[in-house]
């Protein structure tokens, strides 16, 4: 049917998607997505209002079936960031659930409601008129090729607004197939998760993954420990989560034997997006007899390494390179490290079919991200004797990982400086038991006698960028520490 959905079967009545009480079989999904795909064919690019819902899953499948690149949007994105993403990616339409209210920034785009029931045989395809093809387009869109874009996913850098990583169709197929190899992932698996659907983890691994295999995904709507226990006790075989979710599970385990039983019965518990602390690994292993396995990926590279289902999970290890992934460690001067000694630290660089093709409209940033055909991840690691990788840190201290979200200190500083009560701002990440790192803002107020309130600054960042980027703590200073060059010395603020 398609390299992305080889298992989609119009005649199948096996479950494909479940979001709470609502669900679709593979047959129903094929029909619903097929009818929307017929309407989208020929569109240059569409945005997707990526709520955690059945509509989002149908929308992404439809666009990919039609060969139309999709830009998933976080529905909580603030004004400034949303305006940037729309101006940068220029979608011709936005796909949304029929009941969703869209913000003004999307007002000028054509809105297409995502059908979750198939149009009947007598209805016109998609139940609406087709999206106009770009001027000069030939009649009938050509079938998409492996290097054609599938998704454009926005990701933070250290400074400036997020960049759109262009993910080609072949990267998605290659990464999902490599994970199937490492995890023995089959159509019998029922994946449980409560991840957001506008990033690689929740959308590509968590929705396209099971559909690519012909299996099922049960989404919790929003993450809760109770939801995990319920679904894993009721047929779920795999769990995906970020470390914050496993931390919350580990916290609940002592008083919740049902949760321990549910986790013990799962085939695979997988953590990713940030490092899972040793303490949480151990608490979960002790209470359930099961080891969480870690996999390491990035928006630009999809998945690079994983502990294999038949391997020995070791806390702190993100496993070995996945099938088709070439991985090397390099010194500061670009020299390759050949040692597998568990102690020589270098930057991880990767190459293979799983990589993105570049940042949208940013040839400069794309060029800087590569060393020849090797992608520089910015992650620092050592390699053990058996080839497994242990991540020890990041090159850029101005990147913060909070709750599994990557956040650039620079974008928050810019948003804070826009507030009239702020004269100077610096943002750092500090260790946090729940979020991994929390965003801390250091502020010199415009008028030190009447500084803006902490909540006011957090709300300001949430409204401009996104709630997960808001400072969790604000500290006021009379002046920021600077060196002779005038550069802010974040180290003396306790960050970087």
Site residues for ligand MCA per CB under 6 A: 76, 195-196, 199-202, 223, 242, 244-245, 272-273, 297-299, 403-405, 458-459, 462, 467-468, 470
Residue 468 interacts, among ligand MCA, ligand AMP, none and using kind-specific CB cut-offs from 5 to 8 Å, with: ligand MCA
Select 354 or 394, whichever has its Cβ closest to ligand AMP: 394
* Contact positions with ligand AMP (CB under 6 A) in 146-205: 155, 200
* Number of shown-chain residues binding ligand AMP (CB under 6 A): 19
CB of 242 to ligand MCA, least distance (A): 5
* Contact positions with ligand AMP (CB under 6 A) in 295-334: 295-299, 318
Interacting residues of 88 by C-beta distance below 8 A, sequence separation 6+: 161, 164, 360, 361
CB of 72 to ligand MCA, least distance (A): 11
Residue 467 interacts, among ligand AMP, ligand MCA, none and using kind-specific CB cut-offs from 5 to 8 Å, with: ligand MCA
Q: Are 224 and 232 in contact (CB under 8 A)?
A: no
The stretch near ligand AMP (CB under 6 A) out of 32-40, 134-142, 291-299, 476-484 is: 291-299
Select 227 or 297, whichever has its Cβ closest to ligand MCA: 297
Select 208 or 274, whichever has its Cβ closest to ligand AMP: 274
| Residue, CB closest to ligand AMP | 406
Select 39 or 383, whichever has its Cβ closest to ligand AMP: 383
Residue 116 interacts, among ligand AMP, ligand MCA, none and using kind-specific CB cut-offs from 5 to 8 Å, with: none
Select 34 or 297, whichever has its Cβ closest to ligand AMP: 297
Interacting residues of 98 by C-beta distance below 8 A, sequence separation 6+: 55, 113, 114
Interacting residues of 122 by C-beta distance below 8 A, sequence separation 6+: none
Select 36 or 207, whichever has its Cβ closest to ligand MCA: 207
Sheet holding 163-168, edge to edge: 110-113, 93-96, 46-49, 70-73, 149-155, 163-168, 358-359
Give the separation between CA 413 and CA 254, rounded to whole angstroms: 40
The stretch near ligand AMP (CB under 6 A) out of 4-12, 128-136, 293-301, 337-345 is: 293-301
| Per-residue mark of binding to ligand AMP, 369-408 (x: CB under 6 A) | --------x-x-----------x--x------x----x--
| Per-residue mark of binding to ligand AMP, 44-83 (x: CB under 6 A) | ----------------------------------------
Binding of residue 347 to ligand AMP (CB under 6 A): no
Radius of gyration of the chain (CA): 23
Where do contacts with ligand AMP occur on this chain (CB under 6 A)?
155, 200, 272-275, 294-299, 318, 377, 379, 391, 394, 401, 406
């Amino acid at each position: 049917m398609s390299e992305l959905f080889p298992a989609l079967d119009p005649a199948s009545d096996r479950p494909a998607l479940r979001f709470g009480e609502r669900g679709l079989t593979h047959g129903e999904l094929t029909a619903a997505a097929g009818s929307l795909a017929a309407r989208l064919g020929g569109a240059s690019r569409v945005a997707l209002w990526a709520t955690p819902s059945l509509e989002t899953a149908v929308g992404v499948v439809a666009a990919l079936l039609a060969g139309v690149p999709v830009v998933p949007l976080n529905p909580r994105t603030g004004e400034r960031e949303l305006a940037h993403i729309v101006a940068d990616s220029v979608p011709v339409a936005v796909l949304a659930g029929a009941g969703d209210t869209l913000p003004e920034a999307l007002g000028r785009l054509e809105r297409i409601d995502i059908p979750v029931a198939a149009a009947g045989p007598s209805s016109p395809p998609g139940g609406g008129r087709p999206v106009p093809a770009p001027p000069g387009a030939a009649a009938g869109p050509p079938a998409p090729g492996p290097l054609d874009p599938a998704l454009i996913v926005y990701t933070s850098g250290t400074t400036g607004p997020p960049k759109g990583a262009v993910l080609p169709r072949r990267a998605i197929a290659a990464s999902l197939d490599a994970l199937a190899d490492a995890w023995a992932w089959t159509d019998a698996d029922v994946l449980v998760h409560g991840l957001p659907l506008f990033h690689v983890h929740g959308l590509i691994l968590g929705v396209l993954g099971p559909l690519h295999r012909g299996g099922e995904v049960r989404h919790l709507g929003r993450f809760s420990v109770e939801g995990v226990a319920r679904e894993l006790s009721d047929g779920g075989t795999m769990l995906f989560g970020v470390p914050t979710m496993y931390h919350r599970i580990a916290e609940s385990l002592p008083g919740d034997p049902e949760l321990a039983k549910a986790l013990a019965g799962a085939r695979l518990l997988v953590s990713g997006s940030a490092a899972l602390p040793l303490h949480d690994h151990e608490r979960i292993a002790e209470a359930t007899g099961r080891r969480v396995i870690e996999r390491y990926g990035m928006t630009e590279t999809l998945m690079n390494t994983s502990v294999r289902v038949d391997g020995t999970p070791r806390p702190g290890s993100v496993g070995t390179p996945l099938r088709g992934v070439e991985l090397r460690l390099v010194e500061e001067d670009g020299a390759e490290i050949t040692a597998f000694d568990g102690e020589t630290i270098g930057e991880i660089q990767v190459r293979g079919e799983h990589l993105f093709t570049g940042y949208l409209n940013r040839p400069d940033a794309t060029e800087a991200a590569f060393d020849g055909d090797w992608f520089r991840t910015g992650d620092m690691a050592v390699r053990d004797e058996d080839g497994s990788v242990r991540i020890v840190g990041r090159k850029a201290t101005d990147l913060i990982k909070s709750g599994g979200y990557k956040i650039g200190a620079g974008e928050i500083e810019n948003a804070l400086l826009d507030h009239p009560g702020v004269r100077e701002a610096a943002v750092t990440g500090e260790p946090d038991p729940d979020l991994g790192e929390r965003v801390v803002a250091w502020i010199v107020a415009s008028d030190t006698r009447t500084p803006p309130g902490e909540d006011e600054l957090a709300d300001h960042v949430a409204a401009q960028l996104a709630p997960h980027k808001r400072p969790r703590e604000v500290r006021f200073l009379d002046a920021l520490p600077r060196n002779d060059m005038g550069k802010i010395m974040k180290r003396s603020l306790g960050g970087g």
